[in-house]
Structure 1
Amino acid sequence: MNLSSAESGPPPEEGGWTDFEEFAAHCGPRLLRTAWILTGDRHLAEELLQTALARSWPKWRRIRDDRPETYVRGVMVRVHLRRWPRRRRGEVPYARTPRASLPGDRYREADPDDAMRRALRRLPPRQRAVIGLRYLEGLGVEETASLLNCSAGAVGRRTAKALRTLNGALAGAGLPRR
């Protein structure tokens, strides 16, 4: 299944999805983007999406007519939040990627998109999930709260804290705040 070539949009039929493979091919790119937002890594995102689809497939007959994309997205969020503490203990990431660069390459250091990616990766998993779901996926407070199994107030608090952290990280990198 090639997720990058599938189109996004509404289901092909009025009554909902009938075929799981069609659903996965059609909605896969959006779900993969959500997984990347959660993990910050292409390979972990693919693994997370595959796990969520594998867990959703046995329930397909029940979920196919009732917002299956939201269901799979919720599975991804729950799986990611449960796995993160276990993975985190064994890994110690470098602050900077050990790449060779030319001496005096100031433009490489001032890349705002790279600075934002690094800042997002440093957020705790629930704050990263809130920022990803709210601002990058465009979900509302209530839907985000439902996916994260928390209150709307908790979403607001996590959002505010994450935005303060991101603003501080961008200012520390010498870039204008967003």
Structure 2
Amino acid sequence: MTARRRPDSAGIEEFARASQRRLYRTAYLLCGDADTARDLTQTTLAKLFQHWGRASAADHPDAYARTVLTRTYIAERRRRLRDFRAHTPITAPPPAVGPELTVTLLSALAELPARARAMVVLRYWEDLSVETVAGLLRCSPSTVKSQCSRSLATLRARLGDARLYTTRS
């Protein structure tokens, strides 16, 4: 019987302190809720702790953590959606109306499917390349391009007037 190696606790603690805010920001943009974002961040860090040997050996531990975060978010959304659909009759969603652009944008983002939302956040908020997003989500670059294009069109349609996005008068 071989003894199980303990993860390098100093390394994971240092990494967690350094990347927690960045992971939380991405998690918040993905889920749109502060409490859920905190839970998602903690779940991600717990998974990284479990597999710290593999994560610390990665060329880019931050990218590894972002991948874990994104995949955890998508898996959780699928699980919630499956449970929701099983227990809720199908009805039309209420129209998204918010007093400020930020609230309206988050509301519109929340209406996108989990995978499409992840693509938009990673591609345009995190400013990752198409190839990087494709690698994170295990799909082709053309899928990322087409999904982002459709998602942006959906967001534009829901948000309405293009003048809202400009800072000039």
Shorter-chain TM-score tier: 0.7 to 0.9
- Greater Cα shift, 115-124 or 156-165: 115-124
Name stretches of at least 5 consecutive residues in structure 2 with no aligned partner: 1-9
Bigger helix share = 2
Structure 2 Cα separation of the partners of residues 33 and 140 of structure 1? 19
> Counterpart of 2:69 in 1: which secondary structure?
helix
CA displacement 1:57-110 (0-9 Å, x = unmatched): 12212321421111111111111111212213438886569xxxxxxxxxx73x
* Cα displacement (A) at 1:53: 1.1
Name stretches of at least 5 consecutive residues in structure 1 with no aligned partner: 1-17, 98-107
1:149 has 2:142 as partner: no
**TM-score, with structure 1 as normaliser:** 0.74
The letter of the residue matching 2:41 is L
Percent identity, aligned pairs only, is 35
- Greater Cα shift, 138-147 or 56-65: 56-65
Structure 2 counterpart of 1:129, from 113, 118, 121: 118
1:77 has 2:64 as partner: no
Structure 1 counterpart of 2:155, from 148, 151, 166: 166
Task: Decide whether aligned partners of structure 1 residues 162 and 51 sit closer, same or farther in structure 2, where only a CA change above 3 A counts.
Answer: same
Structure 2 Cα separation of the partners of residues 167 and 94 of structure 1? 18
Structure 1 Cα separation of the partners of residues 56 and 37 of structure 2? 23
Structure 2 Cα separation of the partners of residues 161 and 96 of structure 1? 18
CA displacement 1:136-168 (0-9 Å, x = unmatched): 111111111111111000000110000000100
Aligned 1:50-65 pairs, distance under 5 A = 50-65=42-57
Please list every run of at least 4 consecutive aligned residues from structure 1 whose deviation after the TM superposition is greater than 4 angstroms. 91-97
Aligned 1:3-152 pairs, distance under 5 A = 19-66=11-58, 67-88=60-81, 89-90=83-84, 109=99, 111-152=100-141
- Over aligned residue pairs, what C-alpha RMSD do you find? 2.4
Task: Decide whether aligned partners of structure 1 residues 155 and 54 sit closer, same or farther in structure 2, where only a CA change above 3 A counts.
Answer: same
Structure 2 Cα separation of the partners of residues 122 and 96 of structure 1? 9
CA displacement 1:88-135 (0-9 Å, x = unmatched): 3438886569xxxxxxxxxx73x2222211111111111110110011
On the 8 A contact 2:44/2:69 being kept in 1, the answer is yes
Structure 1 Cα separation of the partners of residues 151 and 139 of structure 2? 16
On the 8 A contact 1:49/1:76 being kept in 2, the answer is yes
Structure 1 Cα separation of the partners of residues 138 and 164 of structure 2? 30
The letter of the residue matching 1:135 is Y
